[in-house]
Amino acid sequence: MRTVNRQLALARVDLVDGVCPVPDEIVRRLPQADAVGVGVVLEHRLYGLEPAGETFASRLDGDRLSGIGWPEDVRPGTLVTVSWQPAKDEIHLRTTLLDEPMRVDGVDYFHEYDPVVVTREFDPGKSNRGQVLNVVLRQGRVFEDGSAVFAEAGLAAACGLGRGAKGAFLLKNAVDQLIREGYVTRVTGSVNDAGYPSYPQADGADGVEMLFYAPLVEPAPHPEAGERREHWVSGFVRKLPPGAQASERQQSLHQKAIETDQIEQPLEPGYTFVKKHHRHG
């Protein structure tokens, strides 16, 4: 029997509960796994550096492997390749390193991830602004690059900040704060008859005011681990995931690098600047 490989994104509940979803094709090949258990091998590099592979004695509960101890650097949305190797009678779980670690709205990712799941699983907290952003991310339309839209008129009923004048006041303040902080911007989109949002505005449709969220994606610092040879890396321009833009700080650093002849390449939309820095190894 051949090896079966499938890739999936982990949700926050998977990490908290210590489980891993299993594709149907693999579940069908393990009819007795719920009774006798199954060996699971995790192939992973902690923070993208040191090997942190582990072996677990797991059980298949429906379409979930239980008893998985996920490393602390595995974030919601991280992609995992699930492989069933019948010759070894075990399942392998493998994460894949990013070329460079990335920070998505303050959360560092060292392994490949699904932008849609990262957005859906982002935890904005329980403050008023957090409740509003939570609605945009979880109930809005999320695009492949992780950006999301939600019709602003639907916020009052969805975010739980109360009714009447007080609720309207709290909602307005929360939205204004999110706009000031750069989490969302107001855009004009449209909705279809079923209430499904579109952005940009669909041809022939009435304009609807929406909140548009775009994740802030920027380079994350490399964690230090063990003794690694230090060397300088010159500043460079690097492409970001679709929809992401360089932060104001990176734009300012790029401008300074241009003025001091450290770099000539312009900073086009969709790119960021990584300043000169030490790298270990």
How confident is the model over 73-98, as pLDDT tens digits? 999 999 999 998 777 778 899 999 99
138 phi and psi angles, rounded to 5 deg: -100, -30
pLDDT of residue 114: 97
Q: Give the up-direction half-sphere exposure of residue 252: CA atoms within 13 A in the CB hemisphere.
A: 3
Distance CA 148, CA 145 (A): 9
CATH, domain 4-114, list 2.60.120.260, 1.20.210.10, 2.40.330.10, 3.40.190.10: 2.40.330.10
Tell me the mean pLDDT in the region 15-38: 77
pLDDT in tens, 214-254: 888 888 887 764 444 444 556 667 666 456 677 787 888 88
Asked whether the predicted pLDDT for residue 11 surpasses 70, the reply is: yes
Q: How many CB atoms lie within 10 A of CB 128?
A: 18
pLDDT in tens, 99-139: 889 989 889 999 999 999 999 999 999 999 999 999 999 99
Distance CA 278, CA 281 (A): 10
pLDDT of residue 87: 72
pLDDT of residue 32: 54
Tell me the mean pLDDT in the region 16-41: 78
Mean pLDDT rounded to a whole number for the chain: 84
pLDDT of residue 17: 95
pLDDT of residue 231: 45
Sketch the domain layout of the chain as residue ranges: 4-114, 123-213, 227-280
pLDDT of residue 121: 96
Pick left, alpha or beta for residue 36 (phi over 0 → left; psi -120 to 50 → alpha; otherwise beta). alpha
Burial degree of 189 (CB within 10 A; 0-12, 13-18, 19+): buried
pLDDT of residue 240: 61
pLDDT of residue 276: 61
DSSP per position, the chain: ---EEEEEE--HHHHHHT-EE--HHHHTT-TTHHHH-EEEEEE-EETTTEE--EEEEEEEETTEEE-----TTPPTTBEEEEEEETTTTEEEEE--EEEEEEEETTEEEEE-B-HHHHHHH----SSHHHHHHHHHHHHSEE-TTS-EEEEGGGHHHHH---SHHHHHHHHHHHHHHHHHTTSEEEEEEEE-TT--EESSPPTTPPPEEEEEE---EEEPPPPP-SS--EEEE--EEEEPSTT----HHHHHHHHHHHHTTS------TTEEEE--EEEE-
pLDDT in tens, 12-21: 999 999 999 9
Distance CA 163, CA 157 (A): 8
The CATH number assigned to the domain with range 123-213 reads 1.10.10
199 vs 261, which has greater pLDDT? 199
Q: For residue 198, what are the β-bridge partners? A: 190
pLDDT in tens, 265-275: 888 887 777 76
pLDDT in tens, 159-192: 888 888 999 999 999 999 988 888 888 889 999 8
Peptide bond just before 266 cis, omega within 30 deg: no
